[in-house]
Chain A
Amino acid sequence: MRLSPDELLVFSVGEVGITATVVYTWAAMLIALPLLIFYRRSMLVEVVVEFIRGQVAAVSGREDMQVMTFVGALFIFIFANNWLVLIPFVDPATASISTCAALAILTFIYGIYIAVREVGVRGYFRRFIEPSAILVPFNVLSEILKFFSLAMRLYGNIMSGAFMVGLMIVLAPFFFPALMNLFGLIAGTIQPFIFMVLATVYITTGVEAKKSRVSHSHNNSQKQGGKNARP
């Protein structure tokens, strides 16, 4: 039994092997991108974008188009990947640890970028010596573990769903795999949302704390504006 789509080599270009994970990711992108581009004026896409916008504004307390675009892309990518279970014999690419780790590393780098843009390099590193310089190792560790758990959460949830389906196909091949796939779809809908919310929290938390200390009144007005703008 295959544990992850990483172990299935589809073809190789020279030295570089293209595994099933990469092919499934391409499939998800091929399905999601044209849908979003051709139906960009439709009601459904508007509902999705409005949902992402509302959630990001509610979690981070401000209307930042850049952060919203990034976490919205994460949401749609993970969602499209998770719903690949609808295609027979295809595992979601998020059932591989490499995809989830790549997404978490992207979030980590983007978080550094946003923090440096908003509060500067010194402001970013000051986060680690607060409240005291003795706590630097723990702060560094917690910063790394945040993104480690972000990757592990997505991977574990999706992989366990795919694994249970594989197990059920061996044990009771007719009815139960479909039922397990249904559960997988529920998890596959909740998990992108959770990844998006947590990524927003991790990206904006330190920045918010710093800002509120420097210019309190400005930040307050921004927060209220964000709340009022919500539908």
Chain B
Amino acid sequence: MLDPSSTSIAVVSIATAGFTIAIGGIAVEVAEGMAVKQALASMTQQPDEADNIRSTLFVSIAMLETVAIYCLLIAMILLFANPFWSAALTAAGAGA
């Protein structure tokens, strides 16, 4: 049986991981959608410049995607490599 402090660490970690992905995902998806929409509009207006626009679009989408990747990394650290959770487990093991 887990003591209350360990349980609260687990609850807060899982909830924060979910919120991290959700909020970070919303912001990045909206930004990427705007970028792609503008790029498609420009491509239909100037088909000659399509290659240039496409490569710039890839790079800028990757830059935007970085924030989502940070969110993913933080969520995965919270879920699978949580330092506070490990400390609580060690303390519980030492206490038992």
Chain A interfacial positions (CB closer than 8 Å to B)? 3, 55, 58, 149, 152-153, 156-157, 160, 163, 190-191, 193-194, 197-198
Contact = CB atoms under 8 A, between A and B. Distances in A.
Contacts of B58: 190, 193-194, 197
A197 B69 contact: no
Contact of A198 (B59, B80, B81): B59
A58 B49 CA distance: 13
B59 A152 contact: no
Contacts, number: 37
A156 B69 contact: yes
A157 B69 contact: yes
Nearest to A1: B80
B55 A156 contact: no
28 contacts: A3-B80, A55-B55, A58-B52, A58-B55, A149-B66, A152-B66, A152-B69, A152-B73, A153-B62, A153-B66, A153-B69, A156-B66, A156-B69, A156-B70, A156-B72, A156-B73, A157-B65, A157-B69, A160-B69, A160-B72, A163-B76, A190-B58, A190-B62, A191-B62, A193-B58, A194-B59, A197-B55, A197-B59
A193 B57 CA distance: 12
A77 to B, nearest CB: 18
Q: What are the 6 tightest A-B residue pairs by CB atom distance, in nearest-first order?
A: A156-B69, A194-B62, A153-B66, A197-B59, A149-B66, A156-B73
Interface residues of B, number: 14
A153 B65 contact: yes
B71 to A, nearest CB: 9
Contacts of A194: 58-59, 62
A227 B65 CA distance: 29
Contacts of A153: 62, 65-66, 69
By DSSP majority rule, is chain A's interface helix, strand, loop, or mixed? Answer: helix
Contacts of A193: 58
B81 A3 contact: yes
Contacts of A156: 66, 69-70, 72-73
Nearest to A150: B66
A144 B74 CA distance: 20
A3 to B, nearest CB: 6
Contacts of B62: 153, 190-191, 194, 198
A193 B66 CA distance: 15
Contacts of B76: 3, 163
Contacts of B81: 3
B85 to A, nearest CB: 15
A103 to B, nearest CB: 15
A205 to B, nearest CB: 13
Given A153-B62, A194-B59, 13 more contacts: A3-B81, A58-B52, A149-B66, A152-B73, A153-B65, A153-B69, A156-B70, A157-B65, A160-B69, A163-B76, A191-B62, A193-B58, A194-B62
